Homo-oligomer: A and B are copies of this chain.
Amino acid sequence: MSRILVVEDDPAILRGLTDNLQYESHEVLTATDGETGYGLIRQKNPDLVILDLMLPKLSGYELCRRVRAEGVSTPILMLTAKGEEVDRVRGLDLGADDYVTKPFSVPELLARVRAILRRARSTETLPAQLCFDDVVVDFQRYEARKSDKPLKMVRKEFGILRLLAARAGQVVTREELLDQVWGYENYPSTRTVDNHIASLRAKLEQDPSQPCYLITVHGVGYKLVD
């Protein structure tokens, strides 16, 4: 069903995971050290990586950081030993999608795997880049250029632009932008979106008062032209 890479140096755990995942009809790749794991991520492009934290050659941390820095967005589920609380925070910080502490219950781990895969499938694929006119925006490097000149853009602006680009041509409502870019925890007013759109226009449009790319659809939302 899905291709899953397990990077784990304890052969007993590795075997147990492999059997269970295969039993759920997944294709399983394995590695017992960080460097091999890194290579397999690049070559085989798995749908999910289950990653032990303590690994020979290249730690789970370092591996995670490295692939994320390269813009690989493959979901990662971390395996941490009990008491590595601090590590857990650092792990999620580095871009892991979930974590399980050892010793773990196999059904729970499988449930988390299913949840991650489901989430990954339902998430629309966000673009890594956007180009139009003389503008180039790189959403992984968080860099933007206009006529080759570096452009200063802030985090929310990248987020908004990225969602608009993902649905290029279609109208995105302010509520959808708030859901996706802000999340549900803090939910500012829809007017906040307008302000960010205004500053995006000021930076990206030739004539911000006559926008050609960031279009208002009155009563509905905004869209980015194709």
Contacts and interface: CB of A to CB of B under 8 A. Distances in A.
Interface of A: 86, 89-90, 92-93, 105, 107-108, 111-112, 114-115, 118, 140-142, 154-155, 169-171, 175-176, 178-179, 184-185, 187, 217-220, 223
Contact of A155 (B93, B105, B112, B218): B218
B171 A142 contact: yes
Contacts of A171: 140-142
Given A92-B115, A140-B171, A155-B219, 17 more contacts: A86-B105, A86-B108, A89-B111, A89-B115, A92-B111, A92-B118, A93-B115, A107-B187, A108-B187, A111-B178, A114-B175, A115-B184, A118-B176, A141-B169, A141-B171, A142-B217, A155-B220
Contacts of A223: 141-142
Residue of A86, A105, A142, A176 contacting most chain B CB atoms (<10 Å) = A142
A112 B89 contact: yes
A187 B218 CA distance: 20
Contacts of A141: 169-171, 223
A41 B198 CA distance: 45
Nearest to A119: B92
